[in-house]
Each structure stands twice: as C-alpha cells, then as structure tokens.
Amino acid sequence: MSKCVFHRIQTTLDAEDKAALNALLNTAPHITVARELSAAGYPMSEHTVRRHRKHDCMCAAVTV
C-alpha cells in the first residue's frame, strides 16, 4: 500500500511549494484545491481532496 496522492505530490515539492500546498489545503474549498492542482499537472477530483481532509485516505491507513 502506498500513501495517498497528496503524500506523493509533497515528496516532489521543494519547501516553498510544500508550504503553498499546505496553505491551499488549509484554506480553500475542496473543488478549488482540486482545480488548482489539476491545472498544475496533478489531476484529481474534489472527492480525493475531501478524503484526504477527512483522514479517510491512505495516509491514515499506512504508517511508513
């Protein structure tokens, strides 16, 4: 099992981009996060964002 898409994205980002992603996750609606990340080349749905925010994604299931 692997971590969710957000974990995989964060492993590719520098510190500044990680901070921007975290700020987006902490402030923007699900659909806005999904649209912004899709536009940046990380296609996803608002449901993916919702699962991550509710800790119902692989991040909660895998402890590596």
Q: Residues 16-36: pLDDT tens digits?
A: 999 999 999 999 999 999 999
Total structural domains within the chain? 1
Please give the helix or strand (H or E) that residue 19 lies within, else none: helix 15-27
Give residue 50's pLDDT: 93
Domain that holds residue 42: 5-61
pLDDT over 90 at 59, yes or no: no
Residue bearing tokens 């649209």: 35
pTM: 0.80
